[in-house]
Amino acid sequence: MQGFVQAMQTQAHTQAALQAQLEAQECPHCGRAHGGTECWLVAGKCLKCGSSDHKIKDCLRLQ
């Protein structure tokens, strides 16, 4: 039983490290470090605010 708990802890540790690595890594598609979240460029969303209603060139926040 102790070995099982230890294995679970090791797995959680590895996943946390992987997640941290992912979040620090720049996305190959948009160059932003958005981690495991959906890539706005791939999803066709505005890269400024993440809205799917418009693209970054039409974004009102881009002033």
Residues of this chain that bind Zn ion (CB under 5 A): 27, 29-30, 39, 46, 48-49, 51, 59
Q: Which helix (H) or strand (E) holds 23?
A: helix 2-24
Q: DSSP code of 25?
A: S
Nearer CB in complex with Zn ion: 3/44: 44
Do the Cβ atoms of 49 and 40 come closer than 8 Å? no
In whole angstroms, the minimum distance from the beta carbon of 11 to Zn ion comes to 27
3-state helix, strand, coil in the chain (%, to 5): 50, 0, 50
Nearer CB in complex with Zn ion: 22/59: 59
Nearer CB in complex with Zn ion: 20/43: 43
In whole angstroms, the minimum distance from the beta carbon of 3 to Zn ion comes to 39
